[in-house]
Structure 1
Amino acid sequence: MKQILVPYDFSKVAEHALDFACQIADKSEGNILLLNVIEHPTADSFKTMGIQSEDPMEQLYIKKMYERVQEKLAQVVSNAKYSDDKIATKIQLGNAFNTIIDQITEENVDLLIVGTEGAEGLNEFFVGSNTEKIVRKAQCPVISVSEKVDLEPIEKIVFASDFINTDDFLIEKVKSLQAMMDAQLKIVKINTPASFTSTRHDLKQMQEFVEKYGIENCTTEIYNYKNEEDGIIYYAEDVEADMIALGTHQRKGVGHFLAGSIAEDVVNHATIPVWTAHIKD
């Protein structure tokens, strides 16, 4: 993970995201880009601070806001707990969601780490619906965190799928995540009344999946529940998992094996970090 992007709105969950990013950067010898997006009613007319508004009062407002954010970011980076980390800062004007997605490409980002459920700070950005959109559209893996989390205790990662038409790109990313965390992969299929399949069928399917991708240090299990999103979360709780990993389709924003925004629902309701990455259509 050479380039890690952390959107930062000065909320507590954004701080949790930065703290977690620092731990990952330390382990992977990566760099962190701390991004703040200044939103403004007429921000569509601005792409950088170099573009001027025709309204002098608007110019003054933007200038003061920029200076304020710049000062606050400097205070964050100067915190002693980040003294050993390589953290760069960037301020952009515009729509927060669109800017974050654009910066992934512009800054060649390998991993995006976002806080969820933030309801304070300058932008009040990290609420559920915005995080859902990021998970759906980001062109790199995303880790969503809602609470303070430490890297070292991450020993079990739940990976849920239907194991039909599995995606090579996604599985390689999951294996890389597992290797970075040095964790056990808890591979699970959520069996629901609406999409019931036999235990014999599922166990054979998962065993073929494990063999096809050469996955090591893993377990396979079937978990019965009335719906997939709650089944994933409850299974993770039952096995005392430390992280959940899911694939998403960019086109529909849905989990690989589900109808509906299941990955986004899990992101919104899980208390442990959730890793998501796109399935290549």
Structure 2
Amino acid sequence: MKTIVVPFDFSSYSLEAVKTAQKLSAKSGAEIICVTVIPSEVDWEKLSEEAKTKYPDLLEQYEEAKELLPGYIRDIAPAKVPILQQIRIGMPHELILRVVEESKADLLVLGAHGKGYTEGNFIGSTLQKVLRKSTCPVLAVKEAMNGNDFKKVAFASNFGPSSKNAFDKIKSLIKVFRTSVHLLYVNTPEHFASSDEIAQSMNSFTHGNEEIVFHQHVFNDKEVENGIIHFTSNHDIAWVVLVSGKRSSSSSYLIGTTETLLYKSKLGVLSVTV
């Protein structure tokens, strides 16, 4: 893992994301790019310098962020490795994804909510849009994760072919922390599978990854989300990996599960799209 992108909007949740990225960077040596987007519907990056002068409010916000951000990050989240900082103007989700593409990021870490969040609301709209379009795995957090949190993870899936492709995208992260991976199939009335079927799928999934410690679990619940929450609570697991694919696919959980877990729990949720 070489590059981690972290959106930062001065909210408490984005600070938790920065702290999480620092823990990942300290272990992996990855570079952190912190991107702050000043929201605007103006396509700022296509404007000429002369045209930009017609938006004095945006220019003022840009200069203010440019002046305050470096010292603010340094004070609230001190770290040995410097954080590269970018300030952009435009639609937040579009520019976050643009930075991911430009930097060829391996991981995007962001807060479950953004600036202006009111307790009790669903997750932020920026996160929802980023989850659906990001080309790299997205780790969404409510609270900062520490090194011990990364020692074990729940990989919740139906363990179809796409799940193995998704695991390949995060294998470097798993290896860095020597994470024990708890394979989790939540058996629900709507999508019931026999123990033999699940074991066969999990054994196929682990084949070729013998250097990683896996544990296999089947957990019965009426709903996938509640099953994941109850399982992780019972096993003292702080984060979960979900495979997000096309909504027509039966081999992976949907992005809606990611959103619901973030809303109902304090779990870190790593969404991997295939």
Normalized against structure 1, the TM-score is what? 0.86
Matched, 1:21 2:21: yes
User: What is aligned with 1:30?
Assistant: 30
What runs of 5+ residues in structure 1 fail to find an aligned partner? none
Matched, 1:86 2:82: yes
Distance 2:38 2:250 in 1: 31
Summarize deviations over 1:172-207 as a string: whole Å, max 9, x none. Answer: 124323212222111011110001111232223322
Among 133, 156, 162, the residue aligned to 2:158: 162
Distance 1:233 1:48 in 2: 45
Q: 1:273 Cα deviation (Å)?
A: 1.2
User: What is aligned with 2:108?
Assistant: 112
Matched, 1:59 2:55: yes
Q: 1:17 Cα deviation (Å)?
A: 0.6
Listed as ranges, the matches of 1:126-205 within 5 Å are: 127-205=123-201
SS, match of residue 190 in structure 2: helix
User: Structure 1 residues 163 and 23 mapped into 2: Cα distance closer, same or farther (>3 Å)?
Assistant: same
User: Structure 1 residues 269 and 72 mapped into 2: Cα distance closer, same or farther (>3 Å)?
Assistant: farther
Distance 1:9 1:61 in 2: 17
CA contact (8 A) 2:13 2:114 kept: yes
What runs of 5+ residues in structure 2 fail to find an aligned partner? none
Q: 1:21 Cα deviation (Å)?
A: 0.8
User: Structure 1 residues 164 and 85 mapped into 2: Cα distance closer, same or farther (>3 Å)?
Assistant: same
CA contact (8 A) 2:3 2:106 kept: yes
Distance 2:76 2:260 in 1: 36
SS, match of residue 143 in structure 2: coil
Q: 1:133 Cα deviation (Å)?
A: 1.8
Among 250, 254, 262, the residue aligned to 1:267: 262
CA contact (8 A) 1:135 1:264 kept: no
User: What is aligned with 1:47?
Assistant: 45
Please tell me the residue identity of whatever aligns with 2:18. L
SS, match of residue 106 in structure 1: helix
CA contact (8 A) 1:174 1:245 kept: no
Among 238, 252, 257, the residue aligned to 2:252: 257
CA contact (8 A) 1:187 1:218 kept: yes
Normalized against structure 2, the TM-score is what? 0.88
SS, match of residue 79 in structure 1: helix
Aligned length: 270
Greater Cα offset, 177-186 or 72-81: 72-81
Query: Superposition RMSD on alpha carbons, in Å?
Result: 2.5
User: Structure 1 residues 162 and 141 mapped into 2: Cα distance closer, same or farther (>3 Å)?
Assistant: same
Please tell me the residue identity of whatever aligns with 1:113. V
User: Structure 1 residues 105 and 259 mapped into 2: Cα distance closer, same or farther (>3 Å)?
Assistant: closer
SS, match of residue 209 in structure 1: helix
Listed as ranges, the matches of 1:214-225 within 5 Å are: 214=210, 216-225=212-221
Matched, 1:244 2:243: no
